[in-house]
Amino acid sequence: MNTVQEKIEGLLIETGRAGILDLIDMMRKSGFFTQPCSGAFHLAKEGGLAEHSLNVFCLMEKLRDVLYPEEIAWESVAVCALLHDLGKCGQFGKPGYIPNMLKGRATKANPNPEPVQSEKKPYLTNPDLLYIDHEIRSI
């Protein structure tokens, strides 16, 4: 079975859009396929961003087929759905999200505990990024 990354790349290539291979290369290098989708909510896990994007595509494709099968090109649905959160993958080689590591509580038995990743909010927006809303970066 194809991985989420293989499915997304295949769909994007199928659109036949100029420059799509360069875009896919950028997506690979920028972490699109490994980033979480959010810090604490929907698909806050490794690879969540790609999974979310594929889910959006599947829903939009069904809606298009029912509501506007002739008016909206399949390729437009694929590009819009799969790339709508492209700005979440980061910028300038830095990831969009980083693990939210909490200091462990020191005890007599373990005076120097290792940091642990938060369960409630496993990821934080990377503070090293130039602040631009991901909606704007996605354009």
Q: Determine the residue type at 3.
A: T
Per-residue DSSP letter, 117:
E
Q: In the prediction, which pLDDT does 11 show?
A: 97
Q: In the prediction, which pLDDT does 106 show?
A: 79
pLDDT, mean of residues 2-15: 95
Question: How far apart (Å, rounded) are the C-alpha atoms in residues 52 and 38?
Answer: 10
Local confidence band at 28 (pLDDT 50, 70, 90 cut-offs)? very high
Q: Residue 53's closest CA among 101, 90, 94, 11?
A: 11
Q: In the prediction, which pLDDT does 127 show?
A: 79
Looking at every residue in the chain, the average pLDDT score rounds to: 87
Other residues' Cβ atoms within 10 Å of the Cβ of residue 9: 20
Q: In the prediction, which pLDDT does 30 show?
A: 87
Local confidence band at 27 (pLDDT 50, 70, 90 cut-offs)? very high
For the cut 90, the answer to whether the pLDDT of residue 114 exceeds it is no
> Which residues are bridge partners to 109 per DSSP?
none
- Percent of the chain scored above 70 by pLDDT? 91
For the cut 80, the answer to whether the pLDDT of residue 94 exceeds it is no
Q: In the prediction, which pLDDT does 134 show?
A: 63
Length of the chain in terms of residues written: 139
Q: In the prediction, which pLDDT does 126 show?
A: 79
Q: Determine the residue type at 103.
A: K
pTM above 0.75, yes or no: yes
Question: How far apart (Å, rounded) are the C-alpha atoms in residues 28 and 89?
Answer: 10
Local confidence band at 88 (pLDDT 50, 70, 90 cut-offs)? confident
* H or E element at residue 56: helix 48-67
